[in-house]
Amino acid sequence: MVDLMKEGSTVILLNAKIDMFKGSMRLAVDKWGRVEVTEPADFIVKEDNNLSLIEYVLVNLVEE
């Protein structure tokens, strides 16, 4: 799957979500999901806001 995703390609994800794994975000596509690689789109990706470089911690709040 990773071999299909090359720089400049546009990837369309159906039935996909982001999961937390060991403090990082992972893309998960369920069994009914689909990944399509298409021709390059005509927009520019903002690379200055890369959320996968941030380590997140799950905090459980107890309501009183």
Mean pLDDT of 16-41: 86
Q: Is residue 37 part of a domain?
A: yes
Written as six digits, the tokens of 41 are 């789109």
pLDDT of the residue at 43: 80
Per cent of the chain over pLDDT 70 is: 95
Q: Is residue 43 part of a domain?
A: yes
Domain that includes residue 18, residue range: 2-53
Which residues lie closer than 8 Å to 29 by C-beta, 6 or more apart?
A: 13, 14, 15, 16, 35
Q: Is residue 23 part of a domain?
A: yes
Which residues lie closer than 8 Å to 57 by C-beta, 6 or more apart?
A: 23
User: pTM for the full model?
Assistant: 0.52
- Distance, CA of 10 to chain centre: 13
pLDDT of the residue at 14: 93
CATH number, domain containing residue 8 = 2.40.50.140
Mean pLDDT of 41-56: 81
Q: Is residue 62 part of a domain?
A: no
